[in-house]
């Protein structure tokens, strides 16, 4: 089947990516073709840090923009050495590409020599369709993964969500921890994110957690838990009203609002009191801002 292909990396699946993915789905619907997005198994950029895992990237593209098919390509030395036109030829050969959609700043091929202008000319010469999507800006600031990384690292997840078009999200397999929260009355689900993932600034956040198709409001601590002399940076979430077992299951945590800095408390009882206060703050936040 002929295919409309969205070209990019799509880290974070932000509003700029959304314009590109929406156009891809629209073109495919109009022609009764397949819509496909290409991404990679690791970052093609020099930074190397990611806003989203591959699984979250795929999930967001499907849920928000209706892109059912996503091809995750291995970003190998061989791939990086491929010329820009050889890469485009492979899209026709391997995916039956009939229309290509990219962003205004898209680069591809060896040393990033491929540009939107070259892509457009290549497509025209072969009778293929091509759309180049312009930049999306908010208050004069271009929406970009780089901008969002800075906001997330500063703990400003609310502003980051304006650029994303959705909350900052993190998914992972729930790990067994110290069980301290359970003893104190607020059992937490612990995630140990990959070191290449950008995490919100250490602190406590109002979040929404989802597992097995069900969601709960909650509070999440990002950091090392200094009150109990923690060493490793973790993401620990208490889901209000949840009763059950999550170990070994996939939990998705959406960050909505920063409540406070992480800090050391004089006692476990003081920590417990503060966590319950934060839980009440989170519930008040979601009462005023119902999670969608």
pLDDT at 95 over 80: yes
pLDDT the model gives residue 39: 95
Decide if 46 is inside a domain. Answer: yes
Over the stretch 138-169, which tens digit does the pLDDT of each residue have?
A: 999 999 999 999 999 999 999 999 999 999 99
3-state SS assignment for residue 230? coil
pLDDT at residue 16, as a whole number:
97
Cα distance between residue 123 and residue 111, in whole Å:
21
pLDDT at 14 over 60: yes
State residue 187's pLDDT score.
Answer: 80
CB atoms within 10 A of CB 183: 11
For residue 9, give its domain range: 3-141
What are the structure tokens assigned to 289, written together? 């801002």
Q: Would you say residue 160 lies in a domain?
A: no
pLDDT tier for residue 183 given thresholds of 50, 70 and 90:
low
Q: Distance between alpha carbon 289 and the CA centroid of its chain, in Å?
A: 21
Under the banding of pLDDT at 50, 70 and 90, the label for residue 185 is low
Angle at 280 between CA 279 and CA 285, to 5 degrees: 95
pLDDT band at 43 (very low <50, low <70, confident <90, very high): confident
Q: What is the CATH number of the domain that holds 177?
A: 2.40.30.30
Please state at what angle helix 84-95 crosses helix 116-126, rounded to 10 degrees.
50
Return the SS3 of 203: strand
pLDDT digits (tens, 9 = 90+) for 52-86: 999 999 999 999 999 999 999 998 889 989 999 99
Contacts for 226 with CB less than 8 Å, ≥ 6 apart: 262, 263, 264
Same domain? 131 vs 194:
no
pLDDT of the residue at 233: 86
Residues in Cβ contact with 205 at an 8 Å cutoff, skipping those fewer than 6 apart: 157, 219, 220, 222, 255, 256, 257, 258, 259
User: CA 179: distance to chain centroid?
Assistant: 28
Coil, strand or helix at 137: strand
pLDDT above 80 for 12: yes
**pLDDT for 236-292, tens place per residue?**
999 988 877 888 899 999 999 999 998 888 888 888 888 899 999 999 999 998 765
At 60 the three-state DSSP class reads helix
Q: Is 150 among the domain residues?
A: no
Number of domains in the chain: 2
**pLDDT tens by residue, 206-222:** 999 999 999 999 999 99
Token pair 């602190």 is found at: 203
Q: What is the mean pLDDT of the chain?
A: 92
* Residue 203: inside a domain: yes
């209706």: which residue's tokens?
66
Instruction: With beta carbons less than 8 A apart as the criterion, state whether 277 and 204 touch.
Output: no
CA triplet 128, 132, 137: central angle to 5 degrees? 165
**Which pLDDT does position 257 carry in this prediction?**
97
What pLDDT does residue 247 have? 87
CATH number of domain containing 24? 3.40.50.620
Q: Tell which wins on pLDDT, 223 or 292.
A: 223
Asked whether 129 and 91 are in contact (CB, 8 A), the reply is no
């Amino acid at each position: 089947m002929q295919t409309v292909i969205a070209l990019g990396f799509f880290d974070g699946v932000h509003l700029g990516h959304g314009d590109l993915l929406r156009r891809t789905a629209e073109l495919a619907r109009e022609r009764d073709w397949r819509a496909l997005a290409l991404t990679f198994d690791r970052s093609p950029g020099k930074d190397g840090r990611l806003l989203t895992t591959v699984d979250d990237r795929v999930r967001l593209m499907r849920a928000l923009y209706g892109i059912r098919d996503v091809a995750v390509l291995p970003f190998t030395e061989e791939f990086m050495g491929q010329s820009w036109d050889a890469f485009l030829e492979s899209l026709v050969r391997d995916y039956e590409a009939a229309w290509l959609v990219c962003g205004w700043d898209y680069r591809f091929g060896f040393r990033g020599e491929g540009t939107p202008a070259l892509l457009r000319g290549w497509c025209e010469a072969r009778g293929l369709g091509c759309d180049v999507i312009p930049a999306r800006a908010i208050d004069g600031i271009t929406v970009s993964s780089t901008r969002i990384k800075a906001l997330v690292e500063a703990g400003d997840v609310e502003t980051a969500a304006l650029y994303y078009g959705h909350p900052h999200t993190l998914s992972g397999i729930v790990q067994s921890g110290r069980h301290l929260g359970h003893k104190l009355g607020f059992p937490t689900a612990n995630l140990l994110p990959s070191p290449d993932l950008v995490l919100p600034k250490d602190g406590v956040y109002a979040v929404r957690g989802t597992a097995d198709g069900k969601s709960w409001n909650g509070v999440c601590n990002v950091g090392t838990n200094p009150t109990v002399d923690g060493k490793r940076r973790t993401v620990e979430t208490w889901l209000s009203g949840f009763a059950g077992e999550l170990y070994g299951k996939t939990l998705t945590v959406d960050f909505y609002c920063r409540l406070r800095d992480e800090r050391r408390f004089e006692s476990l009882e003081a920590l417990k009191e503060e966590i319950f206060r934060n839980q009440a703050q989170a519930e008040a936040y979601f009462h005023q801002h119902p999670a969608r």
